[in-house]
Structure 1
């Protein structure tokens, strides 16, 4: 079934030629006009987003889950919070209870929402605190900050605020807490940032990305812990299912595709059929000029920062999601192998500062096999410019030259080390992917041991031995390092004899 507002939105976004079947909803319950209120409530409480009232083939009414606060009667998750898993959780629970008291004093209802509630249901560590207030969120945040001796940062355009630096009554530090006014959102164009307006909690939950994040927990002292789940989030969590809330969800905000990969990898969730159709629709709809490159890059940075980030990137490749960068982006089995190779390289922790940041390593792996014109457009789409863009785009050509050096049948260790030290970090990642077994073995040696080889003598020792201050000291130390790498010297006396030959008063020495 297709709802009228979805038709209106699609037409308003210039998608009026879209086949109407792309806008069809899954999971709509249908009842007759004689159905009881109890029967309708039961359907809504079991996760139906909409209940359609039909007389034969004629629709006579629509009842939406988000139109009222369909709370599970008597269902509370407060007991799950009382089993503390450490001081951080204890501080969070204290803060939530105190926030409920502040809301009661101000006469506004306050809820914990989203990921915190979801993770409590999943019995996972839940430290990110997001609150929704039916009223003035920033005013509530300022009052809360006064109570816990924290500081407030207000973002007026979206009716949100953050409270940081607070402490409990006992002086223990509190986590950051984000506060928002309950709101509805409207997207003027696909991929644009939304305009917002005050709304009730039900509409606030219905605007969210996935059902598993459309959860709330009451914080008022009399109802603390009561679960609000109007869209079937708990049921989806039990089924390990990730579900969007309407067919145009990914069209209105394509960055939700990246979040889908992140949640799928982190929580072991799988997309349901309707979500897959919604994603296919979004990826075929266009290039989203209103979607900024900074937002795309920020989503990628969030992905690679997570333990399961590389799995999330693999899902994006599998889904064809990088067409959001450029329609010409090609995905193949080789792309998957490249990503796996980069992930294995970045697992090494023994060479800090040699490899690039994880986000740039991932970008090298994703772009390595793309045609140069596509790679350039992708980098530009992410709003990456200057030297960083040059390194990313120049990595494949540099890597091919570096791989030839590293794959040669005989190379002194000092030559290998010099080649790797001279290459910029992005080229090292590309060379790892482009090189053969010998090249990777040499890179592994450099990353684990070779990069740390140093002379026993210091610059001060070299100067004390008679080498004049200036560039010659550096050249002398480099020579000592290369001789140690090649195994030609091993002891301090051997180094000292080499330094003696560097003195300008020695025959053949530098002048």
Structure 2
């Protein structure tokens, strides 16, 4: 049996794993059973990236959500009637907390009546079998897979199977969800599901989608890794008109969306996390007239701050352009100071939308992928090992070190450590003492101090060999070589001295 907890710990990001442990501990403290359900379990089984964490609790999740959000959550949406909470934590992790429930639909296109139910009934009421699985996080059953509708088998056969015959009638937004899952996962609807889908479209069930449900589905499409494929699949089924009647004819700005998607993936690969919804909505409505754009956003039942952000995206991008265009001097340090307060999602949008402005591109690109990563590689550990205690001085040293890195003053590792010691007020480290000469082995005669006169200087010492094994005694060292004597010269015969008598005799003959 697979170890699903180990699989989760291996696949979740550090931030997601921290959030999962927080939810698990908070539910345990409150005495509530908690389960990881839906898309996170499906993506865990298929090996797809796990984007959001959806939890079902047997009890009221709203108080738990408030406690988890604390004071630093980016977003917290509570729905008292449906007993659901959606929140975005400070580190960007998206969570959904829901009470285990059953839903009863009295009329198409109207909100359902909600009643508490055990977790197994909650799973059976869902749309497709692949989304109806859960993993228990409750002590005593932690790691247990819940699969009441045999969704694991449908994952293996790569099929989307509707759980109820009236599912599209009760909640028509599932028509859009079927198209999205089929596009993302590459699954095909099984025969009965496909027949029900075609029947629902023929009867115009899509006209009864609730605005809130349509807005949530539009956000999910915007967060897809390949939202273009999802939008084109909806266009093939003439379902883009549910967002706005003119959108089916005018079409989204696919070229702009493709360029933005490229920079978004680049930023996410570098570890940045941001909400892509505002930028994706910009390209979705870009080809519509101004009045039609506002109507489209109202059709999605977005909140006022979300509409304001979506409509003001281009205006905020132009502010960034002016800010960087005015920067004449200052170099990397000033660029870093100017762009640090700007949201990453807005910078990615500027990269995509104004790619023809090379100087602006270069500054933003260097900030995101060169300057800002330096902040995460500050030598905190090295400074601690040098004995500098945490405090204002510690932070000041790191800040000066970071500024020196931005200015390009620190090249190599030795240069960085030298600069760090200087900032910490530490003396230069003493040079290591020279190694002592090795004592000769027992029984070996000392080597001569000098060679013969005129001999070549001794060669560099070879590296010492490891000592011989104890079983064999070491051989005695050979005696030192004696200097070679030059060969003796042979004495040359001396010329014989001429006697005085012979010289006189010669003189007489000449006379």
Q: What TM-score does the superposition give when structure 2 sets the normalisation length?
A: 0.48
Higher RCO, 1 vs 2 (CA within 8 Å, ≥6 residues apart): 1
Q: What TM-score does the superposition give when structure 1 sets the normalisation length?
A: 0.48
Structure with greater proportional strand content? 1
Bigger Rg over Cα: 2
